[in-house]
Amino acid sequence: MISVQNVHRFFGDKHVLKDVSFDIKPGLMTGFVGGNGAGKTTTMRIILGVLAANDGQVLVDGTPITADQRAAFGYMPEERGLYPKMKVIDQLVYLAELHGTPAAEAKRYGLELLERLGLKGKPTDTLESLSLGNQQRAQIAAALVHRPGALILDEPFSGLDPDAVDATVQVLRDVAATGAPVLFSSHQLDVVERLCDELVLIGNGEIRAKGTRSQLLALDTSNDWELQMEADTGWVRDLGVTVIEFDGGYVRFQTFDETTANRILAEAMTRGVVTKFGRVTRTLHEIYKEMSK
């Protein structure tokens, strides 16, 4: 397990990471979500050791991460970069060799990855001759070609069409299935929500929430309730709760007491047919929007 622990980072006077802590569990896909400038990339670069933390540390199974462990990571930086004039497969082999993979093995696996990721074009094409989406596929393959023990991917899905997203996810899941921790960032919550096992939400340099999707939703306990019935709901006002919204047969009210809410339901059932009643749950999107402020 990779643990980011109480990490702080300043750029000049700007405090861009404030006591950031979270875990990336082995075998799981962890989504790292936050708006632009929230601190995702800075955090990832600190995990990779490309950037140093001003305070705090990165641990692997409880002990500070070593250079050897970092060298086993697969990394896809936010600003994409491979050699523009080099053949795609040659770059994969080069990067894999730097990680200790023999050239022949790297070539074989590199070609396999490119095919699985759906690269359109020849592996012997130069990077600059490929379309952006295909360059992105090559970039993902570059992060995977040395069979990494952990994956840190910054916005891996941006610029991919839905088919490519699915193909990529499948490849990433296979890596996770080997027991590797996988962290990927995104500012597109819908993608992350669909793909990841765990979520870490970051806003303005602070971790706002972390856990599985249902944990996050459960954490967001709302005291809003809503009632929909065929009769008028104006009477709810007189029962000692705060009405937030009212529209004939629909009312949204706030109470901190479930018994009170149930009393209202009982009252409603005596007045007509209830079509909907319950606690108001917000979507992950709404939670994210509020938290990332």
Partner 1 sequence: MSIQSATPRPTFWKTVGIVAKREIVVRCLSKSFLISTIITMAIFLVLMVFAPQLGKLMMGDSTVAASGQVATALQKIPDLKVKEVADDAAAKELAASGEVTAAVVADASNPTGMKILVEKDLPSSLINALSVTPEVEILNPDAPHPGILYMLRLGFGMVWMMAAITFGMSIAQSVVEEKQTRIVEILVASVSSKALLTGKIIGNSIAAMVQIVLIIATVVLGATINGDIIPLDQLAGPIAWFAILFLFGFVMVASLYAAAAALASRTEDLNNTVQPLIWLVMLPYFGVIFAGTNQVAMQVMALFPLTSAVAVPIRIFQGDSPVWEPFAAMAILIATTAAVIVLAGKVYDGGLLQTGKPMKWREALKAEA
Q: Note the residues at the interface with partner 1 (CB under 8 A).
A: 1-2, 26, 45, 48-52, 60-61, 66-73, 75-77, 79-84, 86, 94-95, 97-102, 142-143, 146-150, 179-181
Q: How far is the CB of 19 from partner 1 (least distance, A)?
A: 20
Our CB check for partner 1 shows the closer of 121 and 149 to be 149
Our CB check for partner 1 shows the closer of 147 and 213 to be 147
| Structure token digits, residue 148 | 């990494």
Give the Cβ contact number of residue 184 at 10 Å: 26
Beta-bridge partners for 17: 9
Q: How far is the CB of 293 from partner 1 (least distance, A)?
A: 28
Contact indicator for 31, 196 with CB cutoff of 8 Å: yes
Q: How far is the CB of 119 from partner 1 (least distance, A)?
A: 18
Residue 1 is given by DSSP the state: -
- Residue at 7: amino acid letter: V
Our CB check for partner 1 shows the closer of 61 and 245 to be 61
CA distance 188 to 157: 9
Our CB check for partner 1 shows the closer of 94 and 250 to be 94
- Residue at 12: amino acid letter: G
Q: How far is the CB of 64 from partner 1 (least distance, A)?
A: 12
Q: How far is the CB of 95 from partner 1 (least distance, A)?
A: 7
Our CB check for partner 1 shows the closer of 63 and 214 to be 63
Q: At what angle do helices 103-116 and 162-177 cross, to 10 degrees?
A: 140
Residue 126 is given by DSSP the state: B
| Structure token digits, residue 197 | 């096992």
Our CB check for partner 1 shows the closer of 138 and 189 to be 138
Give the Cβ contact number of residue 157 at 10 Å: 21
Q: How far is the CB of 69 from partner 1 (least distance, A)?
A: 5
Contact indicator for 138, 119 with CB cutoff of 8 Å: yes
Q: Is 121 left (phi over 0), alpha (psi -120 to 50) or beta?
A: left
